[in-house]
Amino acid sequence: MLSKKIEAALNEQINHEMVAFYNYLAMEAWFEDANLSGFARWMRVQSAEELEHMRRIFEYINDRGGKVQLEQVGKPTASFKTPREVFSRAAELEQANTKSIHRCYALAVEERDYATQTALQWFINEQVEEEKITKEITALLERAGDEVGALLILNRQFGDRAGEEAKS
């Protein structure tokens, strides 16, 4: 059985995952509107991942006899000037998500909840990859600057990558 503190922290993490999901949907819409379908596809894969993360925590709470309590998700950021700005926001979302997961893990350590520590380890490892890729893409877009050709090449590459990940 989950303690009330851990249950509350995990419910808060569900909300963080939903905020990320909703923001990635808004980013997908922005890229579609900008006719950058490769980046839009990448964001679609990311939003699906966030939804899956939420589902894992949701099921974990239920499996441990806790009660899932969903909170309101606010309006996502949907106004951007450049693709780099979009990915910079994505990197911020991932960093905030990592901090929240670390808080959950620290609480599980404090309460000696070994099952929750084990469950959260998967998320900790996942966040290392999520932060890495969003920072790398932001850096690539920074280097591309205002070069339309470079932007279109990146758009195609990340669309192809998203398609491969969606299949696996």
- Give residue limits of the domains in the chain: 4-167
The percent of residues in the chain predicted with pLDDT above 70, rounded, is 95
Give pLDDT tens digits for 121-141.
999 999 999 999 999 999 999
Q: How large is the average pLDDT for residues 11-36?
A: 97
What is the token pair recorded at 26? 């808004």
Question: Which stretches of 34-65 are DSSP H helices?
Answer: 37-63
Enter the pTM of the model.
0.91
CA distance 166 to 47: 11
CATH fold for the domain made of 4-167: Ferritin (1.20.1260)
- Residues with Cβ within 8 Å of 32's Cβ and at least 6 positions away in sequence, in order, are 40
At 86, the pLDDT band (50, 70, 90 cuts) reads very high
CA distance 67 to 18: 17
Closest CA to 27 of 114, 97, 93, 119: 93
At 159, the pLDDT band (50, 70, 90 cuts) reads confident
